[in-house]
Amino acid sequence: MSVRVRFAPSPTGYLHIGSARTALFNYLYARNTGGKFLLRIEDTDLARSTEESTESILEGLEWLGFAPDEEIVFQSNNAEKHRAVAKRLLAEGKAYRDFTPKVAPTDLNIKDAIKDRARAGQGEKNIRDNEYRDLPVAESEARATSGEPFAIRLKVLESGKTAFEDEVYGLQERDYAETEDLVLLRSDGHPLYNLAVICDDIEMKITHVIRGQDHLTNTHKQILIYEALGVEPPTFAHLPLIMAPNKGKLSKRKHGEVVSMTTYRDAGFLAEAFRNFLALLGWSAGEEQEIYTLDDLITKFSLAGIHRSNAVFNFTENDPRRWTDDKAQWMNAEYIRTLPLDALLPHVRVELKSAKLWREEYDDDDRAWFEKTIDLIRQRFFTLKDFSSQGRAYFSEDYDFDPTAVAKNLARFPELREWLPMLADRFETEFADAAREQGLNLRFTEENIETVVKKFTEERATKLGVVMNGSRTLLTGTAVGPSMLSVFETLGLERSILRLRSGLAWNL
């Protein structure tokens, strides 16, 4: 039977980094086994589900490149089927009506309330102790027809245990005594999570359920339902969780944007880099390799390579340099400078377009220049954003000067105020005039530029670095960048002369 897996987020917020990794592992497993990757939106919590969330999750998945192989399933569309299944179990005596009035939510926070209740009931209450559990069928029917509200609960056996072989955590067992008679259908007719998931997984013919370790106890409950239904459960693989730097829960509310997928897209991350990073959080191929193409990941992925311990997603709040995991940042920079140029170019184009720095010629007459320039400047970049910020001077005359760069490379050498325009004159005579008047063809190349600049500095008995660094700041606005010789060549003779003569930076 061919593999079918699903990613099943509930749309109560944007695509979380943990969910993204779950999606990734499902995707990799599907591709590795030649199976299908499906998407199901679990939008049954009417109070919390929003359309914006669904959109945001879809955006995140699209960015990561995980397109579902079949149409997206919206769980809320199946509520009627879920109800029918609950009623079937009721008719078969595998579930019962619970007429206990619904308890109003406390003013405590919900998690604390649950914990309190669990602790309080400890040792006193038998979890099977429900007066309606063995209510005679006739009476149950009568009360129901009289309009009395009821929830439908699964009738869990008194003794025995659920067991399954988890592909990651191994044999998992749980005594029935640990599992309450879980509610299948709410008294308002609303089907609950565990029921809905199973019905949909069965209908979607899911063979492998790969999801977070926080679902481990749900799995035992779900197996109970599978058994009641007489359906063979799928294979389960639970994933370790991704934790915050303090090893606590990584939450949207507490940690904000750093856990959202769209943040990374908007910050200029490459999806291939982020995927690579995510894959290594809780999984490894057991080798000393860090960089994996998607194809590599697909071939090497296996459930056996998934860890059992949680991984920390490391970042430092209030430190702009460490706003997200160091390794993720390194990985992105690594991809920026090593990705085949053809693969990088489309991303750069998008970035330049959104910064209004794009020109059609880059795709046409100036294509060779453009590619060479990108290849030159990408060596020092960390994100796609850098192409439009730090790299701005390569694409526009309207660029900013970094004050510290000006202080360091220009202000400290007042003589440069005269020298740099003089260097422009020299360029003109050596490259432009010479070529025009004498028919010489001295090209504005690194090698020739070096000869000219060296001679120029020797005449002034100054260090090469002074002129080079001053030029860099004047021509690009920064103190950092590629070799100044390649900057000159890349900018070209005309722009170099123009900028060397401009007094812009001096007026800061």
Partner RNA sequence: GUCCGGUUCGUCUAGGGGUUAGGACACCGCCCUUUCACGGCGGCAACACGGGUUCAAAUCCCGUACCGGAUACCA
Nearest residue (CB) to RNA, 35 versus 197: 197
| CB of residue 251 to RNA, shortest distance in Å | 9
Task: Work out the burial of residue 120: count CB atoms within 10 Å of its CB; fewer than 13 is exposed, 13-18 middle, 19 or more buried.
Answer: exposed
DSSP string, 92-155: TTSEEEE-PPPPPPPSS-HHHHHHHHHHHTTTT--TT--TTTT--HHHHHHHHHTT---EEEE-
- The residues, ordered by sequence, that sit 6+ positions from 313 with a Cβ below 8 Å of its Cβ are 17, 242, 243, 244, 245, 250, 259, 281, 325
Short-list 30, 23, 20, CA closest to 7: 23
Q: Which of 87, 337, 359, 385 binds RNA (CB under 7 A)?
A: 337
Assigned token pair, 463: 């260090």
Verify binding: residue 63, RNA, rule CB under 7 A: no
Q: Are strands 36-41 and 4-7 parallel, antiparallel or unpaired?
A: parallel
| CB of residue 364 to RNA, shortest distance in Å | 30
Nearest residue (CB) to RNA, 228 versus 475: 475
Residues that bind RNA (rule: CB under 7 A) add up to a total of 91
Sheet hosting strand 183-185, strand order edge to edge: 95-98, 151-154, 183-185
Verify binding: residue 481, RNA, rule CB under 7 A: yes
Candidates 55-63, 199-207, 212-220, 260-268: pick the segment binding RNA (CB under 7 A): 212-220
Verify binding: residue 218, RNA, rule CB under 7 A: yes
Verify binding: residue 162, RNA, rule CB under 7 A: no
Catalytic residue check, 408:
no
Q: Are 500 and 421 in contact (CB under 8 A)?
A: yes
Verify binding: residue 157, RNA, rule CB under 7 A: no
Assigned token pair, 60: 């995140």
Question: Which helix (H) or strand (E) element contains residue 232?
Answer: none
Q: Which of residues 111-130 bind RNA (CB under 7 A)?
A: 111, 114-115, 117-119, 122-123
| CB of residue 158 to RNA, shortest distance in Å | 17
| CB of residue 64 to RNA, shortest distance in Å | 18
Short-list 264, 200, 227, 208, CA closest to 95: 227
Q: Which of residues 422-441 bind RNA (CB under 7 A)?
A: none
| CB of residue 62 to RNA, shortest distance in Å | 21
Nearest residue (CB) to RNA, 82 versus 362: 82
Q: Which of residues 227-286 bind RNA (CB under 7 A)?
A: 240-241, 243, 247-249, 280-284, 286
| CB of residue 390 to RNA, shortest distance in Å | 10
Neighbours of 303 (CB within 10 A): 18
Query: Which single residue is written with the structure tokens 């199946």?
Result: 78
| CB of residue 92 to RNA, shortest distance in Å | 20
Q: Which of residues 18-37 bind RNA (CB under 7 A)?
A: none
Nearest residue (CB) to RNA, 359 versus 380: 380
Q: Which of 42, 272, 351, 402 binds RNA (CB under 7 A)?
A: 42
Q: Which of 101, 160, 403, 492 binds RNA (CB under 7 A)?
A: 101
Q: Which of residues 368-407 bind RNA (CB under 7 A)?
A: 379-380
Nearest residue (CB) to RNA, 185 versus 345: 185
Assigned token pair, 241: 């969780």
Assigned token pair, 8: 């099943």
Verify binding: residue 456, RNA, rule CB under 7 A: no
Nearest residue (CB) to RNA, 325 versus 358: 325
Candidates 42-50, 138-146, 347-355, 392-400: pick the segment binding RNA (CB under 7 A): 42-50
Cα-only R_g, the chain: 32
Lay out the site mask for RNA across 483-502 (x = CB under 7 A, - = otherwise): xxx-----------------
Verify binding: residue 1, RNA, rule CB under 7 A: no
Assigned token pair, 92: 């078969």
Nearest residue (CB) to RNA, 287 versus 418: 287
Candidates 31-39, 133-141, 215-223, 388-396: pick the segment binding RNA (CB under 7 A): 215-223
Q: Is 32 helix (H, G, I), strand (E, B) or coil?
A: helix
Q: Which of residues 180-199 bind RNA (CB under 7 A)?
A: 180, 183, 186-188, 190, 192-194, 196
Q: Which of residues 276-335 bind RNA (CB under 7 A)?
A: 280-284, 286-288, 290, 305, 307-312, 314, 325-327, 329-330, 334
Q: Are 2 and 35 in contact (CB under 8 A)?
A: yes
Question: Which helix (H) or strand (E) element contains residue 166?
Answer: strand 161-166
Verify binding: residue 110, RNA, rule CB under 7 A: yes
Q: How far apart are CA 458 and CA 470, in angstroms?
A: 16
Q: Which of 252, 327, 372, 408 is catalytic?
A: 252
| CB of residue 114 to RNA, shortest distance in Å | 4
| CB of residue 417 to RNA, shortest distance in Å | 18
Nearest residue (CB) to RNA, 200 versus 358: 200
Assigned token pair, 108: 């405590």
Give alpha helix (H) positions in 211-360: 216-229, 252-255, 261-266, 271-279, 294-300, 326-338, 341-354
- Specify the DSSP class assigned to residue 408: I
Nearest residue (CB) to RNA, 135 versus 464: 464
DSSP string, 306-340: B-SS-EE----TT-GGGSS-HHHHHHHHHHHHHS-
Nearest residue (CB) to RNA, 337 versus 349: 337
Catalytic annotation, residues: 252
